[in-house]
């Protein structure tokens, strides 16, 4: 796996709830590329619980939506917006787990509409939640002008993230 470089890290005003490393209230996701997939390894935290020791469903949706956005960034080299998200909660995610793994990849593209499949697995590699996100993608010029997006690259070296 190769770590994906956050193209907005250090940009003034950048405070994304999903991926900004300095957003104290955020989930601070990081991403890796593994073949066709984008992967994130994330540590559940008690402040994100719904029921006791259970990761809130809204936070799970945030994690899934964010990883889908990073599929658009990395694989299509542009930005976009979520136009639809279908989420299926299959098994609770425990906030005491050492980590969870999110995986996402493109299922299908139709012009500027992209369908992305994403999933959350617990630390026992059990499927807990899955989603199908529909993204409206922007032309690269619009992504550059409005989002200050130039490209989304990976670190040159293969790494194994610490879990």
Tell me, what's the pLDDT at 162?
A: 67
Tell me, what's the pLDDT at 159?
A: 81
- Considering only CA atoms, which of 23, 22, 19 is closest in space to residue 3? 19
156 domain-assigned: no
pLDDT confidence tier of residue 69, bands split at 50, 70 and 90: very high
Section 108-136 average pLDDT = 97
pTM score: 0.95
Would the pLDDT of 40 be above 70? yes
Q: Which domain holds residue 34?
A: 2-147
163 domain-assigned: no
Would the pLDDT of 16 be above 70? yes
The strand pairing partners of 113, in sequence order, are 110, 136
Tell me, what's the pLDDT at 147?
A: 87
140 domain-assigned: yes
pLDDT confidence tier of residue 20, bands split at 50, 70 and 90: very high
162 domain-assigned: no
106 domain-assigned: yes
- Domains identified in the chain, total number: 1
Domain with 60 in it: what CATH number? Answer: 3.10.129.10
Torsion over CA of 64, 8, 107 and 157, rounded to 10 degrees? -100
Section 58-76 average pLDDT = 98
Tell me, what's the pLDDT at 44?
A: 95
Tell me, what's the pLDDT at 160?
A: 74
Question: pLDDT per residue over 84-96, tens digit each?
Answer: 999 999 999 999 9
- Is 42 in contact with 71 (CB distance < 8 Å)? no
Distance between first and last Cα of the chain: 14
């Amino acid at each position: 796996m190769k770590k994906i470089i956050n193209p907005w890290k250090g940009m003034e005003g950048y405070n994304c709830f999903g991926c900004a490393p300095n957003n104290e209230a955020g989930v601070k996701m990081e991403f890796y590329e593994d073949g066709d997939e984008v992967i994130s390894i994330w540590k559940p935290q008690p402040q994100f619980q719904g029921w006791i020791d259970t990761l809130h469903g809204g936070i799970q949706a945030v994690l899934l939506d964010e990883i889908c956005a990073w599929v658009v960034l990395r694989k299509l080299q542009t930005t976009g917006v979520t136009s639809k998200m279908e989420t299926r909660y299959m098994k609770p995610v425990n906030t005491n787990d050492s980590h969870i793994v999110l995986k996402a990849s493109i299922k299908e593209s139709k012009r500027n509409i992209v369908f992305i499949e994403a999933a959350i697995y617990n630390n026992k590699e059990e499927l807990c939640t899955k989603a199908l996100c529909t993204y409206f993608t922007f032309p690269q010029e619009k992504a550059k002008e409005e989002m200050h997006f130039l490209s989304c690259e990976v670190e040159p070296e293969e790494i194994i993230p610490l879990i």
